[in-house]
C-alpha cells in the first residue's frame, strides 16, 4: 500500500508539492478550506474544512503517514497535536515580532524593530529612526498590512483598531519557553521596522532533513513590485559571493534552532556596503517552499518541492546544483492574458500556470496565477558546483 503525504493547504505551493509527491510514488491527501483550490488536481483524497478547526486537522493527520504545510497561517497547536515537527517553525514565522526576536537572539542582524501598541510609539520611533514601515504582526504578505511612514502625517493612515492588543494563547507561551529570551511584544497587532538602506534583496532556500543534513539551493536576487515578488534571478556569479555563504550559515542556525524538517526560505538584505563589509540583514522566514525558489524547477538538478517531500518522507537528500543561469518571473493578474503568448513562443522560457479558478467578476490585481522560468542564453547546460 502506498504511503500518504498530507498537505495542509491546496494553493499553488500545495499543488507543486503534491505533483512531486505523486512522482515519488506517494498518495496525497490535501486539506483545504475551499473545493476550488487548484492543488486538489493532484490529490488522491481531500478534506474541506476550516483551518481554524484543530480537531478536523488532527483527524486529517491521522489518515496520513506524513504531514506538511504549504503556508504558515495554521494553528501551531493543531500541528503539535497532529505530531508535525514543524509546529515551532509555524509559531515563529506567523508573527513578525517572534521571528525577528528569534534572529536577534541568534546574533543575526535585523532592522531596528519595536512592538507597537499606541500611536505615540510610532511617533517616537519615527523621530529616532526616520523613515520606517509599520506592519501587522500576523497575516500580512505580498505587501498587505503594511504602512510606509515617510512623514508623521502618514501615521494617520493606520486604522485605530490595529493598536489593540492580541490575547496570546497559553499554548503559545508554553512551547515558546526556552526558544527566545523576550516575547514581551508578541501580543501586539503592529510592529515598526526601520528602513534598511540596501543594495539588493536575496533569499536562501534550503532543505533540512531529520538527521540534520542541510541542502542549500542556489540563492536568487529578488525584485519586488508593489510589495509582491516580481522576479528572482539565479546566477553562478552571485552564488560565489561571501554574502551567500554567510546567509547560508544563518539559515542553518535558524533551521536547527526550530528543528525544522523540509524546505524553507529565509530572506536577507545585502546592505549598500555589504559587498565590502559582508553585512547582511535578516528580513523574514518562510517555513515552506518559496516563490523565489521556483526557478529550481527548471534550472537545477532537483527542485525545491521534490527536496521538501524527500525530507518530510524520510528519503535521502540530493545535493542541489545550478545547471544554468536564469530568472523566474511571476505571472500576476492580467499578465496571464497579456504576457503568456510571448512566453509560449520563447524557446528559452518554461511556463507554469497554476490552474486557479478565475471568475469573470474577479479582481485579478496582484493575484499569483503562474510563473515563467527563462534561461539565460550565456549559461546553457553548465554546472560549476
| Pick from 55-64, 131-140, 261-270: least confident | 131-140
- Assess whether 262 and 244 both reside in one domain: yes
Is residue 91 a part of any domain in this protein? Answer: no
Q: Which residues contact 363 (CB under 8 A, 6 or more apart)?
A: none
Is residue 334 a part of any domain in this protein? Answer: yes
- Assess whether 231 and 337 both reside in one domain: yes
Write the secondary structure of 42-110 as one string of H (helix), E (strand) and C (coil): HCCEEEECCCCCHHHHHHHHHCCCEEEECCCCCCHHHHHHCCCCCHHHHHHHCCHHHHHHHHHHCCCCE
3-class DSSP assignment, residue 8: strand
Is residue 211 a part of any domain in this protein? Answer: yes
Is residue 183 a part of any domain in this protein? Answer: yes
Q: Is the pLDDT of residue 385 over 50?
A: no
Asked whether 372 and 352 are in contact (CB, 8 A), the reply is yes
Which DSSP category does 23 fall into?
A: H
Q: Is the pLDDT of residue 219 over 80?
A: yes
**Backbone φ/ψ region at 113: left (φ over 0), alpha (ψ -120 to 50), beta:** beta
| Domain endpoint, select from 131, 166, 194 | 194
| Domain endpoint, select from 30, 65, 84 | 84
Write the secondary structure of 348-385 as one string of H (helix), E (strand) and C (coil): CEEEEECCCCCCCCCCCCCCEEEEEEEECCCCCCCCCC
Q: Is the pLDDT of residue 384 over 50?
A: no
Q: Output the pLDDT for position 278.
A: 67
Q: Output the pLDDT for position 227.
A: 85
| Domain endpoint, select from 159, 194, 229 | 194
Q: Output the pLDDT for position 383.
A: 43
| Pick from 68-82, 112-126, 156-170, 198-212: least confident | 156-170
- Assess whether 209 and 184 both reside in one domain: no
Q: Is the pLDDT of residue 164 over 90?
A: no
Asked whether 379 and 235 are in contact (CB, 8 A), the reply is yes
CATH number of the domain at 261, please: 3.30.470.20
Is residue 163 a part of any domain in this protein? Answer: yes
- Assess whether 323 and 363 both reside in one domain: yes
pLDDT-derived band at 140, boundaries 50, 70, 90: low
How many domains, the chain? 3
- Assess whether 117 and 47 both reside in one domain: no
Is residue 227 a part of any domain in this protein? Answer: yes
Report the C-alpha gap between 214 and 141 in whole angstroms. 26
Domain boundaries, position 67: 4-84
| Pick from 73-87, 92-106, 183-197: least confident | 183-197
- Assess whether 183 and 204 both reside in one domain: no
Q: Is the pLDDT of residue 50 over 50?
A: yes
3-class DSSP assignment, residue 259: coil
DSSP per residue, 189-257: SEEEEE---EEEEEEEEEEE-TTS-EEEPPPEEEEEETTEEEEEEE-TTGGGSHHHHHHHHHHHHHHHH
CATH number of the domain at 62, please: 3.40.50.20
CATH number of the domain at 177, please: 3.30.1490.20
3-class DSSP assignment, residue 121: helix
Residues, the chain, total? 385
Q: Output the pLDDT for position 169.
A: 56
Q: Is the pLDDT of residue 185 over 90?
A: no
Mean pLDDT across the stretch 172-179? 53
Q: Is the pLDDT of residue 182 over 70?
A: no
- Assess whether 177 and 139 both reside in one domain: yes
- Assess whether 365 and 223 both reside in one domain: yes
- Assess whether 352 and 207 both reside in one domain: yes
Q: Is the pLDDT of residue 30 over 70?
A: yes
Average pLDDT, the chain: 91
Q: Output the pLDDT for position 382.
A: 47
- Assess whether 302 and 260 both reside in one domain: yes
Mean pLDDT across the stretch 12-23? 98
Q: Output the pLDDT for position 1.
A: 83
- Assess whether 364 and 221 both reside in one domain: yes
Is residue 384 a part of any domain in this protein? Answer: no
Is residue 100 a part of any domain in this protein? Answer: no
- Assess whether 246 and 267 both reside in one domain: yes
Amino acid at each position: 500500500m502506498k504511503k500518504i503525504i498530507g498537505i495542509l493547504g491546496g494553493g499553488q505551493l500545495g499543488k507543486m508539492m503534491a505533483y512531486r509527491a505523486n512522482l515519488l510514488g506517494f498518495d496525497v491527501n490535501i486539506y483545504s478550506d475551499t473545493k476550488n483550490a487548484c492543488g486538489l488536481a493532484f490529490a488522491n483524497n481531500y478534506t474541506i474544512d476550516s483551518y481554524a478547526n484543530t480537531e478536523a486537522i488532527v483527524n486529517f493527520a491521522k489518515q496520513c503517514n506524513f504531514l506538511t504545510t504549504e503556508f504558515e497561517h495554521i494553528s501551531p497547536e493543531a500541528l503539535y497535536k497532529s505530531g508535525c515537527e514543524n509546529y515551532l517553525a509555524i509559531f515563529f514565522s506567523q508573527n513578525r515580532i517572534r521571528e525577528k526576536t528569534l534572529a536577534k537572539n541568534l546574533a543575526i542582524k535585523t532592522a531596528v524593530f519595536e512592538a507597537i501598541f499606541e500611536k505615540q510609539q510610532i511617533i517616537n520611533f519615527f523621530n529616532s529612526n526616520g523613515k520606517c514601515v509599520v506592519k501587522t504582526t500576523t497575516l500580512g504578505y505580498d505587501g498587505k498590512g503594511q504602512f510606509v511612514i515617510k512623514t508623521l502625517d502618514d501615521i494617520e493612515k493606520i486604522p485605530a483598531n490595529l493598536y489593540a492588543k492580541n490575547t496570546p494563547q497559553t499554548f503559545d507561551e508554553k512551547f515558546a519557553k526556552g526558544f527566545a529570551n523576550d516575547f514581551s511584544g508578541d501580543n501586539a497587532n503592529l510592529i515598526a521596522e526601520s528602513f534598511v538602506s540596501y543594495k539588493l534583496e536575496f533569499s536562501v532556500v534550503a532543505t533540512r532533513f531529520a538527521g540534520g543534513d542541510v541542502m542549500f539551493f542556489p540563492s536568487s536576487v529578488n525584485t519586488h513590485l508593489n510589495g509582491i515578488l516580481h522576479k528572482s534571478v539565479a546566477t553562478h556569479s552571485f552564488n560565489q559571493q561571501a554574502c551567500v555563504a554567510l546567509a547560508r550559515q544563518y539559515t542553518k542556525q535558524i533551521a536547527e534552532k526550530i528543528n525544522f524538517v523540509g524546505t524553507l526560505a529565509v530572506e536577507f538584505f545585502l546592505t549598500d556596503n555589504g559587498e565590502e563589509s559582508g553585512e547582511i540583514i535578516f528580513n523574514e522566514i518562510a517555513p515552506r517552499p518559496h516563490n523565489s525558489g521556483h526557478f529550481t524547477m527548471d534550472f537545477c538538478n532537483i527542485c525545491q518541492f521534490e527536496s521538501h517531500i524527500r525530507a518530510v518522507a524520510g528519503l535521502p537528500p540530493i545535493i542541489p546544483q545550478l545547471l544554468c543561469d536564469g530568472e523566474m518571473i511571476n505571472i500576476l493578474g492580467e499578465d496571464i492574458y497579456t504576457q503568456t503568448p510571448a512566453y509560449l513562443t520563447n524557446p528559452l522560457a518554461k511556463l507554469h500556470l497554476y490552474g486557479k479558478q478565475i471568475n469573470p467578476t474577479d479582481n485579478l490585481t496582484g493575484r499569483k496565477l503562474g510563473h515563467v522560468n527563462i534561461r539565460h542564453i550565456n549559461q546553457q547546460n553548465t554546472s560549476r558546483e
